[in-house]
Structure 1
Amino acid sequence: MQSFQGKSVYKGIVMGPVVVLKKNDYQVKRSRIEDADAETSRVQEAVKRSQEQLQKLYDKALKEVGEASAAIFEVHQMMLEDEDYLEAIQNMIQTEMVNAEYAVAVTGDNFSQMFASMDDDYMKARAADIKDISERLVRNLSGQEDADLSDIDPSVIVADDLSPSETVQMDKEKILAFVTVHGSTNSHTAILARMMNIPALIGVPLALDELKNGTTAVVDGFTGQVTFEPDEETQAATLKRVQEEKEKLALLQELKGKENITLDGKKINIYANIGSVGDIGYVLENDAGGIGLFRSEFLYLGRNDFPTEEEQFQAYKQVVQTMAGKKVIIRTLDIGADKQVDYFNLGNEENPALGYRAIRICLKQPDIFKTQLRALFRAAVYGNLSIMYPMITSVEEVEKIYEIVKEVEIELKAQEIQYRIPEQGIMIETPAAVMISDRLAEMVDFFSIGTNDLTQYTLAIDRQNEKLDDFYNPHHEAVLRMIQMVVDNAHKCGKWAGICGELGADLTLTEKFVRMGLDELSVAPSMILKLRKIVREMKAED
């Protein structure tokens, strides 16, 4: 029996046989060529074949894990059209008279190393994407087929790392868990694992060559530990825990259709956070009271130009119609920081988390903002839609937003287009917004506290820097005091306040949040029933 410690990406516990996925040992050899044009044509054909494969992967991911998670395959398609990347390959073929496979492999390595050496976490993550598309090109050039990961028995998948394309090809009904030697909690694979509700560990120090297919493994997503060849006692304990988790899940299902009311009668709204229209199924499946955070930026990611007003209108309309009268709070564009989009031409920033992002882009580039507001106001006619504006730091910003809202309203009225001005709130994500929340509460309809950024800015800690994990404390007294201040100031003005950050799903704080007076908690769909259970079993006045 051997145990290894890693980092959990998604909680859960399973036991089953191992399937070790090893990268193809195909060695790219350098060969001298005579016809550079013919070799360049081979690259073009391989690019075309790769684009077709990626389109199929996108379509499959769209059905299984939603639009936001599928967008990575659109990003890969765009990378395959990158002029710098393709020109570097072509230049190597023509100047060094080398075979296409070698030129692609070397160029891929060079670009990957360049991205990996950058300070920005988002750009570092692109290193893996470059490697993925380069390996795909080499496979197509050399006549190799993609590994068939759809036809395996229910197994624990163990690998050095998993690319998004490898992950989405798998039949998720047959995947018990993921265990990888490398990877990050923000990688596309980690995101896909969470969306697919598959227990996953990353950063596990394994020697893959020493691990055999069929070996029994216990993957504990609660402790971040994987155990190979468990003894009888461990197996028995695991089976007991697996059964307990199933029973807990069954009990939670019995809470569907019931209200979120404490034993002494206090009601709290429990809503869902989602990243795309494709995620609505998770909202309905988990019986959320509404959508507390709909991230509209998915419409802007993985494409070459701005989404049109009509595209946005149709997406927002579909969401509010599907939710059939339940509240849908849509956050306006939150691009910037860790979400970079080339066609916005934002430029490089030393500290993007404190830079040109979210509402700052909207106020500096009002044409982009107006297009989104027009789509939102039109969609509001079809259901219970609310809008919230991110990254607010001042009264003046809210005043400027309302000026633009008025301009949009005048335009729509003049054009005789049907619209409705919905409830408008702001996200409290900065200490500045907390400290003037008494004044802001007089101006808006509600507050939604973004605890991820609020914690980051309050503690002066980059939440994506793994070296600072020991210092990043979302339970810090300063953060909790700020939340209380926001709630109190909202209630003084007769407004409601909720949380849409990750802290809302922290079950150790649920009772505290209810007693602090929070009116709403918006969390990942999988957490809805867990919060409902705690709320229904507690007293608000204890």
Structure 2
Amino acid sequence: MLFSKRKVKGYATDTGGTTSHTAIISRALRVPAVVGMKTISKNVSTGDFVIINGFDGEVIINPQEKTISRYRLKREEFIHHESRLIETINLPCETLDKKSVEISANIEFIEEVEFLVNCGHCGIGLYRTEHLFMSKGDYPSEAEQIEEYMHIANVTFPKNVTLRTFDLGGDKVLPTSVKEINPNLGWRGIRISLDRTDIFKIQLRAMLLSSVKKNIKVMFPMISSLDEVRKAKEILNEVKTELNNQGAVFDNDIKTGIMVEIPSAFVLADDLAKEVGFFSVGTNDLTQYMLAVDRGNELISGMYQQLHPAIIRALKAIVSSAHSNNITVSICGEMASIPIAVPLLVGLGFDELSVNPGIFPEIKQIVRNINYADSKKLSEQVQTISTESELIKVLDKFLSEKVKDKLI
């Protein structure tokens, strides 16, 4: 689904979940949405007056006037709350005991960049380049990519922008007419890039030629083995050699990293950390693959638990592997945008939280109202918890006691 914030006031769908592609985009653009309602399309007719309450997952069709008045008041209160939060965007992003935490933005479309002004001109922790393919229906040319990447780098400068190489397949459009029985376990991410080295080289050339300001980082998705990383780096070095021979100007020391989102990458984290300059944990797919739960399958949607204890323990191990090898580690999955999870992620030691632009001010305000020491104790406490429901209670209690009463 592609839409413009200027044309859409809100939406409700029969299918989908909170981590679906469409839901993620709606949150980034601050478009009210309720997904997975099963029969909403049958119950709403053209001309109906509809209230979409994205906070509580409610859709009210043709409400009474008193209900409309109540929700208009709630909307005004929310707008006021947001304006108060935005007042803090240029303040340091650090905990009460002065622990710095980088907060950056997940960006899907070039149009979203305009919302970075509400994030204090933060960096971009994840730029999903595959939208160039999805909007065109074919691989973009080198010139088209350079134009976009340079624009993003210029807008973000002096902050960094992490460009993820094409992550097609799975729940995204696949560049082939072949139907896969299980696309989530099929031809996707880095696998496509390594098979189509001609396309991969064009993208890497574009990224390198856009890196003159030295604020671009390159990230490879869906890494499952050391061989994939080494092959990707080998191809990158080939492109560098070609550009150097042509006398091109680019960042020869450009940083490369990987998405940690497959169980094998988590198990091999210590080895992988020796090969790259940074990790970025994609909790959406990591959760899906570790729990063997299709996040788009409504029959088992309740089993897709982002705060499952197994995931939390995996995150601790990933951070430990990164830091023991002197590389940074960020988290760019939806978990980073869940308010109750933020103190835990800070306590686990993540160097960077890459979040939806729409929730950036709130996440920053949470960080500014917690102590790192308390968060570290919290992260140690939850390692002994065995169920998600119990873990959520602990996280919610921490947020209520330490943060909510301090939010401006």
TM superposition score normalised by structure 1 = 0.63
Deviation at 1:179, TM superposition (A): 5.0
The reply on whether 1:350 has 2:176 as its aligned counterpart is no
Aligned match for 1:269, one of 102, 109, 127 = 102
What per-residue deviation string (whole Å, max 9, x for no partner) do you get for residues 4-31 of structure 1?
xxxxxxxxxxxxxxxxxxxxxxxxxxxx
Distance 1:297 1:266 in 2: 34
Distance 2:345 2:221 in 1: 22
Matches within 5 A, 1:367-406: 367-406=198-237
Q: Residue 424 of structure 1 aligns with which residue? A: 256
What per-residue deviation string (whole Å, max 9, x for no partner) do you get for residues 428-476 of structure 1?
0011111111111111111000000000000001111111111111111
The reply on whether 1:308 has 2:141 as its aligned counterpart is yes
Aligned match for 2:123, one of 287, 290, 294 = 290
Give SS of 2:217's match: strand
The reply on whether 1:494 has 2:326 as its aligned counterpart is yes
The reply on whether 1:513 has 2:345 as its aligned counterpart is yes
Q: Residue 113 of structure 1 aligns with which residue? A: none
Give SS of 1:301's match: helix
CA 1:480–1:251: 2 relative to 1, 3 Å: same
Is the contact between residue 288 and residue 525 of structure 1 (CA under 8 Å) also seen in structure 2?
A: no
Give SS of 1:464's match: coil
Is the contact between residue 271 and residue 288 of structure 1 (CA under 8 Å) also seen in structure 2?
A: no
The reply on whether 1:361 has 2:192 as its aligned counterpart is yes
Matched pairs, number: 370
Instruction: Give me the identity figure in percent.
Output: 35
Aligned match for 2:243, one of 412, 415, 418 = 412
Aligned match for 2:2, one of 56, 64, 69 = 69
Deviates more, 1:510-519 or 1:403-412: 403-412
Aligned match for 1:524, one of 353, 356, 374 = 356
Deviation at 1:239, TM superposition (A): 5.1
What per-residue deviation string (whole Å, max 9, x for no partner) do you get for residues 76-115 of structure 1?
xxxxxxxxxxxxxxxxxxxxxxxxxxxxxxxxxxxxxxxx
Distance 2:129 2:41 in 1: 42
CA 1:378–1:207: 2 relative to 1, 3 Å: closer
Aligned match for 2:165, one of 332, 340, 355 = 332
CA 1:366–1:478: 2 relative to 1, 3 Å: same
RMSD: 2.8
Give SS of 1:433's match: helix
Give SS of 2:105's match: strand
**What residue identity is the alignment partner of 1:486?**
I
Q: Residue 464 of structure 1 aligns with which residue? A: 296
Matches within 5 A, 1:208-247: 218-227=51-60, 228-230=62-64, 232=66, 238=71, 240-247=73-80
Distance 1:490 1:482 in 2: 12
CA 1:514–1:218: 2 relative to 1, 3 Å: same
Distance 1:191 1:540 in 2: 28
What per-residue deviation string (whole Å, max 9, x for no partner) do you get for residues 485-505 of structure 1?
110111111111010111110
Q: Residue 82 of structure 2 aligns with which residue? A: 249
Distance 1:328 1:355 in 2: 28
Give SS of 2:307's match: coil
**What residue identity is the alignment partner of 2:227?**
E
**What residue identity is the alignment partner of 1:504?**
A
CA 1:346–1:223: 2 relative to 1, 3 Å: same
Distance 1:317 1:221 in 2: 35
TM superposition score normalised by structure 2 = 0.83
Unpaired segments ≥5 residues, structure 2: 375-408
